[in-house]
Amino acid sequence: MALDTKSLFSFSPLHRLQWEEAQQRFVILYPEGMVELNLSAAEILKLCDGTRDLEQIVSELETKFETTGLRDDISELLQSALDNGWIRQIPRQ
Amino acid sequence: MVGSDKFPVSSPRWLLAELTYTCPLQCPYCSNPLDFARHKNELDTQDWLRVFSQAREMGAVQLGLSGGEPLVRQDLPILVKHARQLGYYVNLITSGYKLDEDKIAELKDAGLDHIQVSIQAPERTLNNYLAGTDSFENKKEVARLVKKHGYPMVLCVVIHRQNIHLMREILDMAVELEADYLELANTQYYGWAHLNRDQLLPTREQFQEAEAIAQGYKEKLKGKMKIYYVVPDYYEDRPKACMNGWGTTFLTIAPDGLALPCHEARSLPGLNCPNVRDMSIRDIWLHSDAFNKFRGFDWMKEPCRSCPEKTRDFGGCRCQAYLFTGDMTAADPVCGKSPHRYTVTEAIANARSSFQSGEGKPLVFRNVKNSKSLSSRMGKA
Ligand code: SF4
Ligand code: SF4
C-alpha cells in the first residue's frame, strides 16, 4: 500500500507496542513474534495514535529533537510499518 | 561455567507453559511425550503464577499457553489475567475444541492477546479421523468467533502425508475463515509423530508440490494474510537452528513443573531437568546443569566443532541427534556433513515404501490407553 501523507496514522489493534525493561528498548509484539525497535523508530511509532498525519509527526519530532530534515526518514519508516501491518492509515473525514 | 566471555548467557524471551497433558483430541503427530500419561502431578495455580512472575523478571515477554489442551484448566482466566498484568504477550495455543463464545469473551477481558486454533484438515471426515474426535464444525465456528472478538486469528495446520495433498484446500479454508496468519507446520518427527513416521512423512515430490502451492498463495495474499511455512528438515541439507540455540531464548515448563530447554528435552536421558517446585526460574536458567549443557560450542564434537556454520545452526537439534544416533552430542543427522545422514535417508526410504505399497502399521493415536501401554513397554526408565 502506498503511503498517503494526508491520512492519520494509528497503531494496529493486532499488534502491541511496549517498553521492555529487560531489553531497554521498545518492541512490537504480535502472535508468536517480536520486533525490537531502535530509538527513532519507537519515537515515530508512538505518535501513531490516530490523531496525527505525516506533517504533524514530522514537525513534532523536529521540535522535540531540535533538528530539521526528518521528513524522508520518517516517511520511509511509516511506509515499512504500513507494509508490515504495524500501523494503519485512516483517511481524514 | 556460566557466561564465559565467548558465550554470554542471554535472558529468556519465550516462555512456553504446557499447562496440562490432558487433551480431548488424539492427533497421531502430537509432540507430547509418548509416556505423558505417567506425568500426572500437575502444577497448581499458585505454581504457575510464580513461574510467570519469575520468568517475566528474567525478561521473558512472549508467553505460550499450550498443552495438551490448555482449555481444560479451570484456572485459565486467572493465569491469563496475571500474565497480561505482568506485560506478557499472551498466546493461547488450542485445538479450539468446545471453546464457546462466553469463554472467548471472558479470556479477552482477562487480557488474552491471541488465540491460535489448529485444524487437522480442510474437510470433516479427515479432520475428525485425525483428531480422533468429531470436532470439525466446532473448530471452524471457533475460528469465526475468535475473529469476531477482535483477536488476531492464527490458523495452524500440521502438514503430513495424510493431508498434504489438500494444500490448496487448506489455503482456501484459511481464506474463507479470514485468518490473519496461517501456520503451515510440516510435522516435526518427535514423540507420537516419530512413532508414526512411516505413515506421516510425505515423499520429496509431495513436499515440493505442496511448497510450490503455498508459495503461490503467499504472493497472492501478501498484505492480507501472513503465511508461515515451517520447512520439513528431513529434506534439507542443513539442520534448523534448533531453539535459536540451547538455553538462549526458549524456556518450556512441562505440566508437572519440569523446566526444559526445548519441549522435547524430556526424552534426553541423564539430562536431569530441574523442576520449578524446587528451584527458581533464575537459578534454573543461569545455574542448572541441564540449561548449561549445550550452551555455546564447547560441548561439540566433529564435524560441528571445527565447522564454520556452527554459529548459524548450533549443530542442530539435540533431541533429533539422540533419536537417530543415540548420542545427544552428535551433529543433527539431517546435516549433509553428519556421518549419520544415511539414517535420515533410510527413514525417508521407509516412509516412501510404506506410501507406495499402501501397507505398514496403522496410525497409533495419542491417548491415555496407548500412552500407558507404550510406557510399560519403555520400562520404568
Ligand atoms: S497435537 Fe492434538 S492431541 Fe496433541 S495436544 Fe495438540 S490437539 Fe491434543
Ligand atoms: S556440521 Fe554441525 S555445525 Fe556444521 S552445518 Fe552440520 S550440524 Fe551445523
pLDDT at residue B379, rounded to an integer: 58
CB B187 within 8 A of CB B193: yes
- Ligand 1, from B22, B26, B27: best to mutate by most atoms within 8 Å of Cβ? B27
Q: Which residue matches cell numbers 511425550?
A: B33
**A-chain residues near B118 (CB < 8 A):** none
For every residue of B325-343, DSSP letters joined together read HS-TTSPPTTSTTSTTHHH
* A-B Cβ pairs (cutoff 8 Å, strict): 46
Strand segments, DSSP code E, in A12-57 are: 16-20, 25-30, 33-36
CA-to-CA distance for B289 and B272, rounded, in angstroms?
8
A35 contacts on B by Cβ (under 8 Å): none
Give me the mean pLDDT over the B302-309 stretch. 94
pLDDT band at B148 (very low <50, low <70, confident <90, very high): very high
The three-point CA angle B154-B159-B165 to 5° equals: 115
Query: Taken in order B333, B338, B342, B345, is the CA torsion positive or negative?
Result: positive
SS3 B240: coil
Give the chain B residue nearest A30 (alpha carbons). B89
Residue of B nearest to A85 (CA): B223
Residues B216-262 have pLDDT tens digits of 999 999 888 999 988 889 999 999 998 899 999 999 999 999 999 98
Distance (Å) of CA B109 to CA B62, B102, B147, B359, B367: 19, 11, 15, 50, 33
Residue B221 burial (C-beta neighbours within 10 Å; 0-12, 13-18, 19+) = middle
Residue found by looking up cell 508490515 in the block: A84
Instruction: Indicate if the pLDDT at residue B378 is higher than 80.
Output: no
What cell does B126 get? 479427515
| Percent residues over pLDDT 90 in chain B | 69
How many helices and strands in chain B, by DSSP H and E? 15, 9
Q: Please write the tens of the pLDDT for every residue from B262-284.
A: 888 988 888 989 999 999 999 99
The burial class, CB within 10 Å (0-12 / 13-18 / 19+), for B1 is exposed
Residue B368 to residue B374: CA distance in whole angstroms: 10
Residues of chain A whose pLDDT is less than 50?
Answer: none
Ligand closest to Cα of B241 equals 2
CA dihedral B118→B123→B129→B130, nearest 10 degrees, is -30
